[in-house]
């Protein structure tokens, strides 16, 4: 079975049949799938079917089998209950979004202490073919269910690099570490596109999404080492008082550290947030990282953070995300 995460092809479902009643019906199920051209392979207690066949099987299973004794999996992953198969089928629309690259980028300003634009964070925005918006929570949830996070993350990174070619400022580009299998292979298309568009690697800052939730730190280090060797910069997002250990931060050596907005908003009046913001700032200085406060919505918080020594700032106070330049030109580039 092919890697569905890397190639947006038709899914194949491996089904495991258990229970006397289910096993007695199993041969008939296999023959039915063969007649309809939906069967890929079968054994005495399992079968692999195409996605259309899985829809058909679910209907039959609910009517004539004990669904509690039927499991499935994708790409040799963990076995799951049939209720999750229904969610995967209902999320099929994500495949078209990825195939047709129905994504564009909006940019949000990152400013320095003088309020001058230092960089833009490139934020993916998704649209259906009819032009309606698909919200990030919806699209990343669907991608996760169908094992499409790698493919989705890739088109977002590519769109962000294209958008970066329309500005001479630095561009912060989000990425999901768990979506990357091997940086040498998965990130090759990103580096090639930047080179083709003439985007100086030093202008691209790859930002780890959900830094607090990173579990495989060795894998993250490999990714960040790859970026660094290619001349790119990298940032840790949503850093706060709960982030693993100071030792780990020192190990990662980020070029930029972004203070989580929950410690930024209201910091001018909140002594507990002030303590966290001050500890964060001291650690950033110790590591040689540039401290960035995100989520600023008031002048009061901006002034407090600026006086403390923060260097970069981001938030609605300076501007909401908006389209950058014209629609990014498409550059077809195979991995």
For residues 317 and 268, give the distance between their C-alpha atoms in angstroms, rounded to a whole number.
Answer: 15
* Region(s) of the chain under CATH 3.20.20.450: 94-323
Fold category of 94-323 in CATH? TIM Barrel (3.20.20)
Fold category of 12-90 in CATH? Alpha-Beta Plaits (3.30.70)
Contacts of 159 (CB under 8 A, 6+ apart): 101, 103, 104, 105, 122, 124, 328
Q: Which residue has the tokens 């996070």?
A: 149
* Region(s) of the chain under CATH 3.30.70: 12-90
Q: What is the pTM of this model?
A: 0.82
Beta strands per DSSP E along the chain: 12-17, 39-42, 46-50, 70-73, 80-81, 103-112, 117-127, 133-134, 170-175, 204-208, 233-239, 256-259, 290-294, 312-314, 322-323
Quickly count: other Cβ atoms within 10 Å of residue 92's Cβ: 15
Give me the pLDDT at residue 131, please. Answer: 82
Give me the pLDDT at residue 220, please. Answer: 85
Q: Which pLDDT tens digits describe the chain residue by residue (335 residues)?
A: 444 445 577 889 999 999 999 999 999 999 999 998 999 999 999 999 999 899 999 999 989 999 999 999 998 889 999 999 999 999 999 999 999 999 999 999 999 999 999 999 999 999 888 888 898 889 989 998 888 888 898 899 999 999 999 999 999 999 888 777 777 777 888 889 999 999 999 999 999 876 556 677 888 888 888 888 889 999 988 776 554 545 667 778 899 999 989 999 999 999 999 999 999 999 999 999 999 999 999 999 999 999 999 999 999 999 999 987 533 333 333 33
Per DSSP bridges, beta strands 70-73 and 80-81 are: antiparallel
């Amino acid at each position: 079975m092919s890697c569905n995460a890397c190639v947006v092809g038709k899914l194949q479902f491996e089904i495991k049949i258990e229970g006397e009643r289910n096993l007695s019906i199993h041969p008939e199920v296999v023959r039915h799938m063969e007649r309809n051209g939906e069967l890929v392979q079968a054994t005495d207690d399992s079968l692999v079917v195409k996605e259309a066949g899985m829809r058909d099987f679910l209907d039959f299973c609910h009517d004539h089998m004990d669904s509690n004794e039927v499991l499935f999996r994708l790409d040799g992953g963990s076995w799951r209950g049939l209720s999750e198969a229904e969610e995967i089928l209902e999320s099929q629309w994500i495949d078209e979004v990825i195939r047709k690259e129905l994504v564009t980028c909006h940019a949000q300003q990152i400013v320095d202490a003088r309020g001058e634009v230092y960089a833009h964070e490139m934020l993916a925005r998704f649209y259906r073919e009819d032009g309606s918006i698909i919200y990030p929570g919806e699209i990343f949830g669907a991608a996760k269910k169908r094992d499409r996070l790698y493919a989705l993350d890739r088109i977002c990174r590519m769109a962000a690099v294209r958008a970066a070619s329309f500005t001479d400022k630095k561009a912060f580009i989000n990425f999901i570490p768990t979506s990357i299998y091997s940086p040498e292979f998965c990130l090759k298309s990103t580096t090639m596109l930047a080179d083709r568009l003439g985007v100086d690697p030093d202008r691209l800052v790859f930002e780890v999404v959900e830094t607090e939730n990173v579990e495989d730190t060795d894998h993250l280090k490999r990714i960040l080492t790859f970026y660094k060797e290619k001349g790119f910069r990298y940032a840790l997002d949503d850093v706060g008082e709960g982030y693993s250990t100071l030792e780990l931060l020192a190990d990662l050596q980020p070029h930029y550290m972004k203070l989580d907005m929950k410690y930024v908003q209201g910091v001018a009046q909140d002594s507990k947030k002030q303590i966290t913001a001050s500890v964060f700032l001291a650690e950033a200085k110790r590591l040689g990282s540039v401290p960035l406060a995100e989520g600023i919505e008031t002048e009061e918080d901006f002034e407090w953070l600026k006086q403390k020594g923060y260097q970069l700032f981001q938030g609605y106070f300076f501007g909401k995300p908006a389209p950058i330049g014209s629609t990014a030109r498409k550059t077809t580039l195979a991995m």
